[in-house]
Structure 1
Amino acid sequence: MPSPKAKNPARPGGSPVLGGSNGRFDFMSKPNLLQRQGSDPVTARLRASESPTRRRGSSSSTGSGPPEEDGIRLNPSLVRVALSSLLAVDLWLSKRLGLCCSEDSPWGSVRPLMKLLEVSGHGIPWLAGAAYCLYKSDSAAGQEVLLNLLLGLFLDLILVGIVKTVVRRRRPAHNRMDMFATFSVDRYSFPSGHATRAAMCGRFLLAHLVLAAPLRVLVFLWVGLVGLSRVLLGRHNVTDVLFGFWMGYWQYNLVEMLWLSPNVLQRLLGD
């Protein structure tokens, strides 16, 4: 008759272990079992690393990764906030200063004068005038100055076209596209080509022409009025004109670096 002890159910939390008396399974509690397994340090470390608590901690840490990254991405930087604020102020101020954008505007009566200033800063009159004066000039010094002025005008067209194509900023919404002799790149606003040309030509005239004091004041006044007319007509935003003045100022330095000497001029003219 079998012993009653063999029919006893396993205690909760127990584990079967071989080697009991008479080849039977004996049950041992978890603390005692872990004490036996703890005698092997490698096995103990492996089991500790695979514990449910550690796995839950690792999964929770990995799961919290994307929200933190999203939080960082959604947090705007200080530079981005500053640029957005500057853009908002620029658009607001440009719209307020567009006083001649149409005949019905507050300063619509002076729109023809602003358009005359627009033509005075256009590239075609400057290129045609410099080429004609170069053709009619008899002195080598005058030809040298006019040839380098043509070089500066062509550089201005190329550089402004490149920047406009890269930036692709649209013209203000209140602008009327009734400009004189426009090209495909002129649908973009940044920077103002009239402002770059006025700044470069103004520096060029002041540096290479002997002008009386009243004429020098007129040159400064013309440069400022050309830039102002671009905003009053609604052609450009304020930052387009300011950057155009800065760009034209440094374009003159580039012309001085690439200055064509009289020897180069003679070779070009075939003398």
Structure 2
Amino acid sequence: MKQNQQDNIDPKTRMEKDREDRKLPPALKKILALDVVLTKRFVSFMLNFVPFRSLRTHCKVLEYSCHGIAWLAGWLAFSWMIDKPDWYQMQVNLFIGLLTDIVMVAVVKAATRRRRPAVNDDPFCIGPDKFSFPSGHVSRGVYIVTFLTWLDPVSIVLWPPLLAWCVSLCLSRLLLYRHHILDVIGGICFGLFNAFLISLIWFDQESCIWIISHMTDEKISGAEYGV
């Protein structure tokens, strides 16, 4: 009987009950409540401007453009098809960073368990998790842009479109009500931290050749193989 009563609870009521059960410190509750209010006000204000209303129509495309599965599968395919030794370090190190990003974000989301904005009831929302902090899309986007502009810089001509994509991605998470402002800020911090982490564990050219040779099951010149 008790189980049936719990099943009949409205989802929003259950969400509020879950928050109460977590027994957050009063100061943190105030900060999170303020974050919710500021997020709604910020989005309402931004939608008064035509460029941001136009951006909102492209938010789903931006969401797809930084999806974790798409990047993992796409980067693996790219590394498999493009056999260019000069790119091995970029291919391997960026891929490792994509993995560490997913692990870090998943662990923090499981620990914080902050719910996404209540207005986000879209049944077709991409993403298996219901938790909001930090934003995985933002973390991944900031890491990728930082990698391609700092760790292994591409041509400076590509920097403006990369930065524009990253900023638009951050805004899109708010305009779609996928995240609150603190979630996006947290995502930015985690993306920068992940880039710093990869800079510390950076794989050199020989190690990257060894890794790719085992991924492709081919002998690549320049690598040392055990007998």
Which category of TM-score, normalised to the shorter sequence, fits these structures? 0.7 to 0.9
In the other structure, the counterpart of 1:179 is 125
CA separation in 2, counterparts of 1:189 and 1:243?
A: 10
TM-score, scaled relative to structure 2? 0.73
**1:102-251 correspondence to structure 2 within 5 Å:** 111-177=56-122, 178-180=124-126, 182-183=127-128, 186-207=129-150, 208-213=152-157, 215-251=158-194
TM-score, scaled relative to structure 1? 0.62
* Per-residue deviation, 1:219: 1.3
**Aligned letter for 1:210?**
V
From the superposition, tell whether residues 218 and 110 of structure 1 become closer, same or farther in structure 2 (CA, over 3 Å).
closer
Q: Contact between 1:160 and 1:193, CA under 8 Å: does it hold in 2?
A: yes
Identity of aligned residues (%): 35
CA separation in 1, counterparts of 2:175 and 2:154?
A: 32
Q: Contact between 1:149 and 1:204, CA under 8 Å: does it hold in 2?
A: yes
* Per-residue deviation, 1:172: 0.7
* Per-residue deviation, 1:126: 1.4
In the other structure, the counterpart of 2:10 is none
CA separation in 2, counterparts of 1:118 and 1:195?
A: 10
* Per-residue deviation, 1:217: 1.5
| Cα displacement string for residues 139-183 of structure 1 (whole angstroms, at most 9, x for unaligned residues) | 222022111111000111111000000110011111133322x22
Q: Secondary structure at the match of 1:235?
A: coil
Q: Which runs of 5+ in 2 are unaligned?
A: 1-24, 45-51, 220-227
Q: Contact between 1:156 and 1:196, CA under 8 Å: does it hold in 2?
A: yes
Higher relative contact order (CA 8 A, sep 6+): 2
**Aligned letter for 2:194?**
Q
| Cα displacement string for residues 57-105 of structure 1 (whole angstroms, at most 9, x for unaligned residues) | xxxxxxxxxxxxxxxxxxxxxxx66544422221101223445xxxxxx
From the superposition, tell whether residues 248 and 117 of structure 1 become closer, same or farther in structure 2 (CA, over 3 Å).
same
Q: Contact between 2:67 and 2:137, CA under 8 Å: does it hold in 1?
A: yes
**Aligned letter for 2:202?**
W
Q: Contact between 2:97 and 2:198, CA under 8 Å: does it hold in 1?
A: yes
Q: Contact between 1:176 and 1:234, CA under 8 Å: does it hold in 2?
A: no
Q: Which runs of 5+ in 1 are unaligned?
A: 1-79, 100-106
